[in-house]
Structure 1
Amino acid sequence: MGLLESDVAKDVTTAGFTIHYNEAGPVDGVPVLLIHGGGPGATGWSNYNPNIGELADAGFRVIAPDLPGWGGSSEVDFVDYEPLDALCELMDALGIEEAAFVGNSMGGHTSIRMAIERPERVTHLVTMGAPLQLKPFLFGAAGPSEGIKIMYQGYSDHSPEAMRRLVEIMVYDVERFATPELCEQRSEAASQRPEHLANVAKAGIRGPIPTWADLDRLHEITAPTLLIHGRDDRVVGFEGTLFAAARIADSRVHLINRCGHWAQLEHADEFNRLVADFIAHH
């Protein structure tokens, strides 16, 4: 039997937030923070349930939080919310000085900002489908991607049918991953905290990313960096990952064919091996 969410779910109160998180692995293991993306219904568990147990079994102290504004954590106003503060408060509350940051989509972008702005807290940087605010337009010259448009629709309509459209745009292998069970799960998770979705929608096109990384500072990242991207990602094109790799000195790219926006779910075994080996040997 695999790991259950009830086995690893915890809560902690920091100076500014109540944060729900999942933790597994030895407390003296190398800390690995898994930072989820920004789609409606996203949580630490929904983004990383095939990865938490495997990385914990590899000897890491694995922590997958619900960022404030998501899941079981505090409500926030995305207009002036600073996710880096929340992550640092979580680390302080758990007695963690520095950690490997692993982030999908919005979580990858947040991890990039951590590596630039608070490098003393980051030992390794791993991203999957991280968006960058490439000029002249967000996510490319044609404006928001097909996937971003569908994701934003999900903030106001989180029915199972809307979540199916969301999941279908997130993955390459629709038949395998866009199951009725997953769509129902995402719909239920979104419905439990409608105030979270309303706050994202209220923020407009900036949505769940109140502050964008300064791309002119990418070269300042010194943490060993692994940039993973699905070749078939219809939410965030892989060009942004190549852009980052060209500017981060100690970086490498892993591009996966037949893979959408959720590399950690669609190719979980490969992802777990890559991340465990990268953190252990760099």
Structure 2
Amino acid sequence: MTTATSSATPTGNPAVGKAVDAGGIRTNYLEAGSGGETIVFVHGSGPGVTAYANWRGVLPVLGEHFRCVAPDMVGFGYSERPENADYRLDTWADQTLGVMDTLGIEKAHLVGNSFGGAIALRLATKNPDRVDKLVLMGSMGVPFEITAGLDNVWGFEGTLEHMRTVMGYFAYDESLTGGDLAQTRFEGATQPGFQESFSSMFPAPRQRWVEAMTVSHDEIRALPHRTLIVHGREDRVIPLTTSLQLMQLLDNADLSVFSHCGHWSMIERRDDFNRQVRDFLLGG
């Protein structure tokens, strides 16, 4: 495959890393570590989300053992927002593969959060030889009735008041979403062009977008990859039943359920999450 050189975009913003062309999409990505096998991290779909927002507590830790790459999906964060972009599952999966191609990554572990879990499943079903192990955290990818939490997340109205409501769905520990977090995420979500692209992705009625983010049961059943499924027991955005479905479908999967934990396993149970993922990926 052809390897292109990534371009750095140095700023004072820790969410902005380097940029690569991923199948024609200029993609911002963060990188940590330099040795060992490669992990590609795929973030979720909340308003104002970036790879940094999702993985800032994970990359420095797992970067001690792996090369970690965390891109912003098209339409999110600091990646390109092309006019008339086709925001759908295959687009994001192809972009993720494009990042791997450009960076010369032949094969990687995939860690997907929520919407990112569906992207990881789609990439693995289309290109199984490019994927080593899978970690699916609070993952989409199978059918479920949309929750009030997800409906609010995808239906973010662009106001600070609604951002406070949205943030309230994410964590079991309310202190994690209090203070300045809603203000910070609101400012991030309403930068020029950000809310416009986000609001175009999942317009009401939103059950159809849950279905658009699914991968067929037959394709999931066919995946041979060792898989770790992680879910917060008190998740109000993506129900625990999705991970129970995935455990039944994936022959080579283990399920870890964290108590007193909402949708942000990598934040609320950060040490446990990092340890489990590290041990799972380093194991035989």
TM-score in same-fold range (> 0.5)? yes
Q: Does the residue aligned with 1:87 lie in a helix, a strand or coil? A: helix
> Which stretch shows the higher mean deviation, 207-216 or 87-96?
207-216
Pick one of 41, 52, 55 that aligns with 1:48.
55
Mapping 1:18-29, distance limit 5 Å: 18-26=26-34, 28-29=35-36
Task: Write the mapping of 1:22-171 to structure 2, written as runs, cut at 5 A.
Answer: 22-26=30-34, 28-57=35-64, 59-75=65-81, 76-78=85-87, 82-134=91-143, 139-140=144-145, 144-154=146-156, 157-171=157-171
Q: Which runs of 5+ in 2 are unaligned?
A: 1-11
> Structure 1 133/150 Cα, relative in aligned 2: closer, same or farther at 3 Å?
same
d(CA) in 1 for partners of 2:26, 2:210: 18
- Native 8 Å contact 1:78 1:207 kept in 2: no
Matched residue, 1:194:
195
SS at match of 2:249: coil
Report the equivalent of 2:247. Answer: 245
SS of equivalent to 2:277 = helix
Q: Distance in 2 between matches of 1:203 and 1:96?
A: 37
| Alignment length (residue pairs) | 267
- The C-alpha deviation readout for 1:139-184, integer Å capped at 9, x for no partner, is 23xxx21211211231xx2333222211110110012x11332212
Query: TM-score, structure 1 length as denominator?
Result: 0.88
Q: TM-score, normalized by length of structure 2?
A: 0.87
Question: Are the equivalent residues in 2 in contact too, given 1:77–1:199 (CA < 8 A)?
Answer: no
1:182 aligns with 2:181: yes
How far the C-alpha of 1:82 sits from its partner, in A, is: 1.5
The residue type paired with residue 219 of structure 2 is R
Q: Secondary structure at the match of 1:246?
A: helix
- Deviation by residue 1:84-143 (Cα, 9 ceiling, x = unmatched): 210111001111011110011000111112222211111010011112442xxxx23xxx
Percent sequence identity over aligned pairs = 32
- Structure 1: runs of 5 or more not aligned: none
Supply the AA of the counterpart residue of 1:270.
D
CA contact (8 A) 1:22 1:64 kept: yes
TM superposition shift of 1:261: 0.8
What SS class does the counterpart of residue 6 from structure 1 fall into? coil
**SS at 1:279 equivalent:** helix
Residues 42/204 of structure 1: CA separation in 2 closer, same or farther (3 Å cut):
farther
Kindly state the Cα deviation for residue 264 of structure 1 after the two structures are TM-superposed: 0.7
- The separation in 1 between residues aligned to 2:211 and 2:69, in whole angstroms, is 21
Q: Which residue of 1 aligns with 2:5?
A: none
Measured in 2, the distance between the counterparts of 1:131 and 1:266 equals: 19
1:249-268 matched pairs, under 5 angstroms = 249-268=251-270
Q: Deviations over 1:253-280 (max 9, x none)?
A: 0011111011011111110001111000
Report the CA distance between 1:213 and its aligned residue: 0.7
Check 1:118–1:79 CA distance in 2 against 1; reply closer, same or farther (3 A cut): closer
- Output the CA distance in 1 between the equivalents of 2:13 and 2:190: 19
2:14 equivalent in structure 1: 6
**Cα RMSD after superposing both structures:** 2.1
Deviates more, 1:180-189 or 1:207-216: 207-216
